[in-house]
Chains A and B, each alone.
Chain A
Amino acid sequence: MSDGRTILLVEDDEDTRFALRVRLTASGYVTREATDVDSALAAVGRERPDLILLDLGLPGGGGLAVLERLGGAPDVVPIPVIVLSARPAATARAAALAAGAAAFIEKLVDNRDLLTAIAGLLEPGRPQA
């Protein structure tokens, strides 16, 4: 179903990154990884991912800095970004959406929510489960 679409995982915690990679690979996605703001921006240019999963607590300026700098590059086709955060949704959601995120998902929610959000953004025409 996922047709080998590429997802860029921007996450500094190694085990979280590992777990997301296993989860997404099992669902048929190809994953690429970055661990800080600069490597994330470089990977966007290099890999042209179909979607970005972005952690907010990143070294080098935080996930919001990635969103802001992506928004400021007009030549890049907008790539949907899902912000995944360990911060409570009540405070972080508004900031992430204001900075241009397509969705905000609090870490530790049911993985179905995450996979549904990814599918919804990559295949907007397809009815969501």
Chain B
Amino acid sequence: MNQVCLRIQDPSLEAYLQIGGYQVWKDLVSGKILPETALDTIKQSKLQGRGGAGFLTGLKWGFMNRDLPGDKYLVCNSDEGEPGTCKDTLIMRHNPHQLIEGILISAYVIGANVCYNYIRGEYLREYEACENALAEAIKANLAGEGILGKSLLINIHNLLGAGSYIVGEETAMMESIEGKRAMPRNKPPFPAQYGLWGRATTINNTETLASVPVILEKGSQWFQDLGVENAAGTKIFCVSGHVRKPGVYELPLGTSFQDLMDLCGGVRHGRKIKACIPGGTSMRVIPGDKLEGLTLDYDALKAVNSSIGSGGVIIMDETTCMVTALTHMMRFYHHESCGQCTPCREGSGWILKMLERVLANNAEPAIIPQIREVAKRIEGKTICAFGEAISWPVTSFIDHYYDEFVYFAQHGKSKVADTQLGFSWNEYMNKDAA
């Protein structure tokens, strides 16, 4: 456990140097490692973006032409906002230097000399930790002007957001950095062609960039061997919901779901798992009976029609009313739709209103397929992936718990005997009870 991003829990430069930190960066600057070699190693490592989409990092970096004259930018996406996800916060608070080294390496490889680390507005502690680490790195001539005595310049700026979910979308983040509403841009052109202020830009997730130094230190094979086929390395899993010991665990990809549950002390009160959302609320829900034998990697989760997403694992036990749970989620999505695309802006509101009608005993069973239909028609019809992020939870909840949704619409009450339990504070506080 904790072999990559969370390998130390000490934010000081001293602690990071003690584990060999910044050695890769020094070797890169001195010419001992060539940028092309570093790029090849990242490609061979098969590191995939850890923010949710899982795009191959080496491939993304390869879209940048490091020899192209003019300004180029690197953005680190630390706007952690996917409900159920709390991993980047730990990297920034406990191992910020590894993130900074990852940013420096990435910037050097793609030829960027200005980097923005966009931290969500609520993360003041994380911002302070990153600012402190950056100041230490600059003082030690590792970042800023005249890096390690060379004429190399790489400026890193930590930024703070102001409260927005959609800013986590890569092109929305660029708009926000430019000081605008965080409205996702049409793609193409992709950021590598037209990013910040129209310049070539690469954007990576915090966990992705923090993984980079250790991959270059220990090699692509080491990294691949940590995980399984088609899922190299580790992933930080944040487990919340109805488990006895919610927590954050960095584990090899391919770890069995049962092992993760064991680390979390199992389900409270020895109950059964009714449902699991494996990667933040935008990922499709997995019903409890499909969890047996499941491993946590891209292929295995795809086989149960979901995805690893951001690693935010939310466990719901059998006391959870799925209609209520989905309604809570949809309030969030409706509020956070940026409003650019009609299917998302209107559809999210329609879905929420229809679900609220079901909860208020003011609907017929026919409303359930109608809700599903509206959700289905958002998918693929929007500028950004937020459309899928709204659509997937709705369609998967209804598909897997169709009878429960119809029962609610028909009877005006939940199929779950006591709907309070699943959302009860008292029940949650006493979760350690046998």
On whether the two chains bind one another, the answer is no
Interfacial residues, chain B to chain A (CB-CB below 8 A): none
Residues of A within 8 A of B (CB): none
